[in-house]
Structure 1
């Protein structure tokens, strides 16, 4: 569970340091640096996509996962949950002066989704549980350290509180990954990694502000990609081969 601990610690440290720095960082610095974070997320995504074993299974999982996410309105529900805890956060850590209530809520909900329910974090935690490799969460920790710091210069120390739901969610997903580790094969893990890479890639677009993909709505695909990949390899492909032979 080293990955979730390191990741949440990075968010906590970044939020505290950024909150204490306040407006000492220039507006240009705070605007341009997230573009680099987005590019890093895209690069990590591409590195994972190349591990793909079964393209049709991965694409099907992405599509079905998106449909499930839309039906469940995951993105909107996560936003609603974040808005409900705003009052508690305001009581513990008063919001920064100069920011309206609505502006604070809008930005805080957005970064809560980004840190807790991002494709990189969800995939990284499950990947560590399945493979034992915390590399993805380590890389995300570097991004979150600086990202939390930059957001905290505008929103204050409240950003540091995001570390709490972040580690809870990641630990749950890590233990879930460990429970299914014995049932996996290298091919299934490759397809799981590829789908996670796609989600990480579009997360980069969101961080850069290019396109606000509803990343949370894509996350159900991570839970169905292995069954679909297994079914494709054990049932559909032999049937296709028998028809063409």
Structure 2
């Protein structure tokens, strides 16, 4: 659990720095930080998707995942959870929901979450999650300075999801098979690309409704292998 605890702390610390610094930053700097993060996220997503060998599988899973996510209203439910959290905390942040949803998806949609959690849980190697912690901490500074306190509370899903995978790592070790990781990278890369497009405000993609694609990617990879 060391990697997850460090990752959660990095999100909290990065968000706190962003919230503190955000009040002193001109709006132009906040905008350029979000654009820089959006560009970086887009490049990372593209690289992950294009380096994978099973891109067609990822596209098929994305289509199936989108239909499933829309029927299950995943993004709406996640936004509802964020809004209930905002009301519970009596936050007056107008971008609380956007910050919570955007940060949660960004931190949990990559293969590093699964690979790092499995390595940490099975062989006690937190190195991947420690690297992810550095990336998430830097991203938290930029996100929190623009989107507000909702980014800070995305640390809770990071703790629960990564911690859960780490604790179940012995039963989930099949996720570390190369063919499965390739499918996760390809599909996760497309999802991260969607997050980048949202950050750049090019369009509005309901990325959370595409999350079932990761499940389809794992199943498809295991079947085709």
- Aligning the two structures, in what range does the TM-score lie when normalised by the shorter sequence? 0.7 to 0.9
Q: Is the 8 A contact 2:75 2:206 kept in 1?
A: yes
**Looking at CA atoms only, which structure, 1 or 2, has the larger radius of gyration?**
1
Q: Taking structure 1 as reference, are residues 17 and 72 closer, same or farther at Cα in structure 2, changes over 3 Å only? A: same
Of 169-178 and 59-68, more deviation after overlay is shown by 169-178
- Partners of 1:165 and 1:218 in 2: CA distance: 18
2:113 paired with 1:122: no
Q: Is the 8 A contact 1:41 1:203 kept in 2?
A: yes
Which among 139, 151, 159 is matched to residue 143 of structure 1?
A: 139
User: Paired residue for 1:43?
Assistant: 43
User: Paired residue for 1:71?
Assistant: 71
- Deviations 1:76-110, CA, capped at 9 Å, x for gaps: 011111111222212xxxx4xxxxx5xx34x1011
Superposition TM-score, scaled by structure 1 size: 0.76
SS state of the match for residue 85, structure 1?
Answer: helix
- Deviations 1:213-244, CA, capped at 9 Å, x for gaps: 101011111112122123234xxxxxxxxxxx
- Deviations 1:7-38, CA, capped at 9 Å, x for gaps: 32233223323433453211111111100001
Superposition TM-score, scaled by structure 2 size: 0.82
Structure 1 segments unaligned to the other structure (5+ residues): 96-100, 234-245
The Cα of 1:136 is off from its aligned counterpart by 4.4
- Deviations 1:125-174, CA, capped at 9 Å, x for gaps: 2232346633445423321233223433xxxx565344234322332344
Structure 2 segments unaligned to the other structure (5+ residues): 121-127
SS state of the match for residue 203, structure 2?
Answer: coil
- Partners of 2:145 and 2:6 in 1: CA distance: 16
User: Paired residue for 2:125?
Assistant: none
Which among 216, 224, 235 is matched to residue 208 of structure 2?
A: 216
Q: Taking structure 1 as reference, are residues 163 and 205 closer, same or farther at Cα in structure 2, changes over 3 Å only? A: same
- Partners of 1:141 and 1:10 in 2: CA distance: 5
The total of aligned residue pairs comes to 216
